Structure formats: C-alpha cells, structure tokens
Amino acid sequence: MANTVKESEERYRKIVNLSPEAIAIVVDNRIVLTNHQACKLVGTDYSKIIGESIYKYIESESVKPIRKKIKQILEEKRAKSTSDHKIVRYDQTTVEVEISASYLTYKGRPAIQAVIRNITETKRALNQAAKFQKKYIESISPIPEKIQMETLYMPARTVTGDFFKIYKVNEDLAIGIVGDVSGKGITAALSVLAFFVLFREAILISYDPSEIVKILNKKIVNYLDKYIAACCFSLDLKKNEARIAGAGINQFMFQKSNCSAEEFIVKGPFLGMFEDGEFDEKVISFEKGDRFYFPTDGLEFIFDDYEIKDNYLKEHTITEFIEYMKNILNNVIADFGALKDDSTLIALEIK
C-alpha cells in the first residue's frame, strides 16, 4: 500500500514538472510540492522552496486578500479562483503574476493547487494602454462656473471598459454619456476610443439624448462588434432642464437640494443589440443646488442603500460622497485583492 501511494505521488510529481506553467501545492500555508517552472520563477532551487511558507514569496499588500481567498477555497472546496498579484523572488525583485488557485486533496489533507503565470510583460503593455486611456477620460466640469462635477473611476483590472465623456456645446448646454463596453483589456479600451468618435459625430447631428443613442445604436450595429451599455444626458442651463436616455444603463439618481436622492428608471436595450431599439427618455426640471448621479453597473448597489439615498447625500457634499465611495471600494480591494467589476460614477451639482 505504501509503495502504491509513493508511486502515485511520483507520477503526479512528474506530471507537474511537465507543465509549462509554474505550479505549487500548498498545505497549511506551506509549499509541499512544486515544479521546475516555479523554481525558475522565484529564482531558487527545489530544496529551498519545499516547506517554506507561501507568504515568504507574496508581496505584503497581497497577503491579506490571499489569506482570505485560501480560507474561502478550503471552506467551499471551490474549483477555481483567479486573481493578479505580485510575488517576491529569492533576490527580492518582484514579478507580476496571475494565480489560478483550486481545491484538491494531497496525501489525504485539504490543499491548494496554485497555477502561476508570469504576466509582467502583459501588465506593462496594459499599463501603457491604461495611461493612454486615461488621457481621454476628463474629470473636469465642461462648464465649471455653472456645474460642479466630481467623478469616481476605478477599474477592476488595469484597463477598464467603463467610460464617461461630457462635451460643452455652448455656455448653457452640456451633453454627456457614461457607459460600459463589453469585454476587458486592450480590445475594450480601443472600442471606447472608437465610441468617443461616434459620440462626437452624433452630437453634431442632434442635442437630444434619445436621438443621440438611436444614432449611436445604428453606428455600433454597423461598425463595432460589441454591445455597449450607456446612459446619455443633456443639461440645458437656460431652460433648467435635463434629459436622460437609457441604453443598457437604465438607472440614475436625482436629488433636489437638501432632500433625499430619488432613483429613476429609463428603459432601453444595450447599444448594438437591436438595430431598431427603442430608448426611453426622462425630462427633469432642476434648480440651483440640485444634483444628478450617473453610475455604471459596478456601483448599482447604491440604489439599494437607503442610508446613502435618504441620509448621507443630504448631509454631505458630492466631493465628500465620491471620497466615501472610494474608501468603500479601496476596502474591498484590500480585503479581496480586486474589485469584481469596473466602478464609475459621475456626480453633478447645479451651481
């Protein structure tokens, strides 16, 4: 029996060594088996790795989320969980990696199998794409003397599919859009840039959000192989009138000065989904001190948070609200290593 178990372990060790990816088996937070690629990744030999705590090779900011993830996988016996982290090599340099962790039993004990892929070059390219993308995401009010604007823009990963854009048409009219392109990474970033071109062209044809989303919908059906969720709005400061059209992002909040925030629904399918899609539009009259909040789906939970809608927003400025939301999201990142979805929010207050 002992020989059979030993032979089985030896076969498993050989299979692990054949993998082109780094693999480590972890029991009670210690490395009990690894392969040649893992040794190469951390820059040392097998004898120095075996028996070591995995946290010796994890950058400090990733320790807490990895502890939580391991606990969750062992409790739920989860098949797979993937996240990005930095590991510390034997020479104290760091490497960007993607870790796919899954549950298994090793020698009769609960264990974690971690498949580790070096994504340093990929991350470098994504960081460049993210910098390029952020140049096109403007956080400054288009009409600062009449509209205060605060924004939150936190990608779940390096490059986001979320976007927003507000154009100043004249001294009394601004037209904006907040949205989310399907997909992630560089492809989504390029789609966002293409969308900005189409949005600008649509504004040259119409100032009405419902017409703008219809124009965009037809363009996207023809030119972009993507679905795009969006909410388009206009603020007419001469008429004191806002128009909001939904296209996949169908919720927004409006808050009268010193009152609770109210949720509104504007129905409409994703852009690019149906060639003859119909898009609802809501018209709202506003006054000085009134506010609008336009989030993407990563922040939809605020619609169900009555403490925020009924109390917090009445007592705090939009600047304080954005900081409050950033703190919530940063706590999620600290606990779990990353956000589940891109999170974007535009908060506007009429001066």
pLDDT, tens digit, for every residue of 294-350? 999 888 888 888 888 888 999 999 999 999 999 988 888 777 777 888 889 999 999
Same domain, 68 and 152: no
Same domain, 25 and 48: yes
> What range does the domain containing 47 cover?
2-118
184-194 burial, b at 16+ Cβ within 10 Å, e below that, comes to: bbbbbbbbbeb
pLDDT computed for residue 252 by the predictor:
96
Same domain, 136 and 75: no
- pTM recorded for the entire structure: 0.74
> pLDDT by residue (tens digit) across 181-191?
876 667 777 78
Please report the DSSP string for 59-105 in residue order: -HHHHHHHHHHHHHHHHHT-S-EEEEEEEE-TTS-EEEEEEEEEEEE
Could you identify the residue written with the tokens 């974007």? 344
pLDDT computed for residue 80 by the predictor:
77
pLDDT computed for residue 226 by the predictor:
81
What residues contact residue 284 under an 8 Å CB cut-off, 6+ apart? Answer: 241, 242, 243, 244, 254, 264
Instruction: Using the 3D structure, point to which of 118, 151, 177 is the last residue of a domain.
Output: 118
pLDDT computed for residue 1 by the predictor:
43
pLDDT computed for residue 311 by the predictor:
87
Residues of the chain with pLDDT under 70: 1-12, 129, 132-136, 158-159, 183-185
Same domain, 41 and 14: yes
Same domain, 264 and 302: yes
Same domain, 150 and 289: yes
Q: CA 264 from chain center: how many Å?
A: 24
307-321 burial, b at 16+ Cβ within 10 Å, e below that, comes to: ebbeebbeeeebeeb
CB 305 within 8 A of CB 261: no
Q: Choose among 275, 271, 273, 284: nearest CA to 350.
A: 284
Q: How far apart are the first and last CA of the chain?
A: 80
Same domain, 19 and 159: no
Instruction: Using the 3D structure, point to which of 83, 118, 153 is the last residue of a domain.
Output: 118
Same domain, 10 and 149: no
CATH of the domain at 52: 3.30.450.20
pLDDT computed for residue 12 by the predictor:
67
Helix (H) or strand (E) holding 229: strand 228-236
Same domain, 159 and 73: no
Q: How many CA atoms does the CB half-sphere of 277 hold within 13 Å?
A: 30
Same domain, 89 and 181: no
CATH of the domain at 222: 3.60.40.10
pLDDT computed for residue 250 by the predictor:
95
The CA distances from residue 302 to 47, 169, 230, 307, 326, in Å, are 51, 30, 18, 9, 13
How far apart CA 293 and CA 321 sit, in angstroms, is 11
Same domain, 17 and 61: yes
Same domain, 112 and 139: no
229-260 burial, b at 16+ Cβ within 10 Å, e below that, comes to: bbbbbbbbbeeeebbbbbbbbbbbbbbeeeee
Instruction: Using the 3D structure, point to which of 85, 118, 151 is the last residue of a domain.
Output: 118
When divided into structural domains, the chain yields a total of: 2
